[in-house]
Structure 1
Amino acid sequence: MTRRRLNRLGRRFMWASMGVLAVAVIMIVIAAQQMFINDQDLGFLLWILIPATIAAAVVAYVLSAPIARDANLLSDAAARVGGGDLTARSGVVRADELGDAAVEFDRMVDRLEAVEKERALMLSSISHDLRTPLAALRASVEAIRDGVAEDPDASLKGMEHQVQALAVLVDDLQLHTRLASGTLAMRPSRVDLTELADEAVETLRPLATASDVQLAISAGDRIGATGDPAQLARVFRNLIDNAIRHAPPGSTVTVGLSVRGGAAIVRVVDEGEGFPPELGERVFDAFTRGDPARDIRTGTAGLGLAIAKAIITAHGGEIAIGAGDGGVVEVSLPM
C-alpha cells in the first residue's frame, strides 16, 4: 500500500512539475516565434529543459515519500479504529496540515476510548448493582410462593426495600445521563444554602441515627447563592449521605458553611478514614467506588459524587476533596 500510495503521490507531483515545465516550453517557443529568442538560444534552452525535467521527476518522488508514509500511517490507524481497535494512534508528527489532521485524529480516538471505557465501566457497575437486589427479590418471591417464608410480612417489607433501591438506581442513572448530555434544564433562583443544608440534615437524620452517626451544622450568618434549589438540595443530600455511609459508629458528620473570596463554601466532613489516596479526584467520576464490593443497599452505584460534581459544575462552581482529617468534600459556589 505504501508503494502504491507513493507512486500515486509521486505521479501527481511529477505531473504538476511537468505542467510547469510544459508552460515554460510553450512560452519559450512563442518567444522564439516572435523573434525574441534566436535559434541558437532556443536550442540551448530546450537542452536545459531535459535535465530540468529529470530533476523535477526525481524531486517529485523524493518529496512525496514522507507525505506518503505519514498518510499511510494515518490511513492504517483509521482502519484499525474502524475495526474496533481504540488503542490505535497515527504517530504522525508534522508541522503542516497533514500533521494537524493527525493530531485531531488522535484526539478524537482518545475521546472515543474514554467513552468506551466509561460505557464498559457503567455496564459492569450496573450489572454488579442489580445482581444483589434481584437475587434477593427472587429468593423472597420463591419463598412466599412455596409457602416456606417464616414471616411473609417481613419478606414483603424486604422486597419493598429492594424495589426502592432499584428505583433510586434508575433515577440516578437517568439524572446522570441528562447531566452528562447537558439536557437537564436548571431553574435558577436566589436560594438560602443554610436552609437547604438544614433540610438535608433533617431528611437524612433517620439514616444517620440508624448508623449511630450524629449530624451537625456549622454556620454563622445565612449564606445565599443563585442556583436551582432542587438540584442544590440533591447535592447536599448526596454529600451528607456519602459521609454518613463512611462515618464510623459514634462519630459526627459536620456540614459547614462559610464565605471565602466572594464565594459560598460548603464543607461536608466525616470522621472516617477519608478518601483512598490512589483515587484522588477520580472519586467524582461516575461509578468510582472506594469499596468495590459495595452494592446499592449500602451505596448509590458510585453516582452520588459524580451527580454532585455535574450539578455544581453546571452552576459555575467547583467541588473537590478538601484538606483535613477524615473524609472532606468542599464545594465552592459563586454568590
Structure 2
Amino acid sequence: MKSKILVTGGAGYIGSHTCIALHQAGYAIVVYDNLSNSSREAINRVSHLIGTPIEFVKGDIRDAKALRQVFDAHQFFGVIHFAGLKAVGESVAKPLLYYNNNVSGTITLLEVMAEYDVKNLVFSSSATVYGDPETLPIDETAPRSCTNPYGQSKLTVEHILEDLAVSDASWNLIPLRYFNPVGAHPSGQIGEDPNDIPNNLMPYISQVAVGKLEKLSIFGNDYPTVDGTGVRDFIHVTDLAAGHVAALNYLQQQVKVEQSAVGFLPINLGTGTGTSVLELVNAFTDTTGQPVPYQFVARRAGDIASCYASADKAKVLLGWQAKLSVAEMCADTWRWQSMNPNGYK
C-alpha cells in the first residue's frame, strides 16, 4: 500500500477524477471539501466506482482548527490541493473573496502542514499564470502575469510556494499548471457540474446539446487564429488526474529513494496542441451527432487569442503525457451530460 494523501477540494470536478486515479495507483485518500462549489454526491459516486468508501471531511481550508483535527487523525505523506474558487468573471466582481479563499486558505493549509511536518504538496495551479503569452507553445520558463484576480490568486500562491522553498529546503512543492480540462469519467457517473450558467466552454456546449441552454455564445471571431475564434489546449480530465498521480509518484521517489528535496518545481499539464472554439464545437457535433446552435458575440475582456502548452517537462520528469483525443473528450462529456442532464442534483 502506498502512502496516505489529503485531497483538498476532492469533491470537485478535477478532484473527484483524481481520487479514482489515486485509488487505482494504490494511494489511501482522505477528502476535505467545504462543498461550496461541489457535491457530496460526487464522492458517493467515486466510492461506488472504486468499490470502497472514501473518508470525507466537510471543512474549509481557512479553518486551521478543523485542518488540525484531520492531521491529528492521519499520517499523511502529502497533500493534493485543489480547494479554490475558479470563476474568472466572479473573481473580477468579488476579488476579496478570491484572495481570502485561494490565497489565505492556502497559507493556513501550509502552516498546518508545517506543524505536522508534512512537506509534500501538489498544487492545482493554472495556465492563467502565463497571461497573454509572448511565444507558443508555452513552457515553464515563460514570463508570468495575470489579467484577472482568479489568475492572480494562483500566481500569488506560486510566489508563496517559491519563497517557502527558498526559506526551508525540506519542502517539495509541485504546482501543476493546467491548461483547459474537459471531458468526464468514461462511466458517465462523474463529470463537470457547474453552478448556474457554465463559465467553461465544454459544459456550455453540452448543456446546449442537451437542451438546457438555447445556444452557445462564442466570444469573438476576429482573433488571429485558424478560424478567428480563440485557440486553447483542451486536456481530458482523466489524463489530468493521471498527471497528479505521476507528480506524487515522482515526489515519493525523490523523498524516499533519492533523499533529495524537490523545492519549487512547476510543471505544465496539457496536450501541446491548440484547438479553436469552432473546431471543438464541430468535433462535438461530429462525435455525438448532437447539433450545437451558436452565435458570435463580442470578445470578452481579458481573453487572449491562443494558449497551448509545451508538455515536454512532464514527459521527461514524470513520464506523463496526455493520451486522449478531442473526440474522446467530446464523447465522454456527452455521456456524462446525457446521463445526468441536471448534474448531481
* Fold shared by both chains (TM-score > 0.5): no
Question: Higher helix share goes to which structure?
Answer: 1
Higher RCO (CA < 8 A, seq sep 6+): 2
Instruction: Output the TM-score relative to the length of structure 2.
Output: 0.19
Instruction: Point out the structure with max Rg over C-alpha.
Output: 1
Instruction: Output the TM-score relative to the length of structure 1.
Output: 0.20
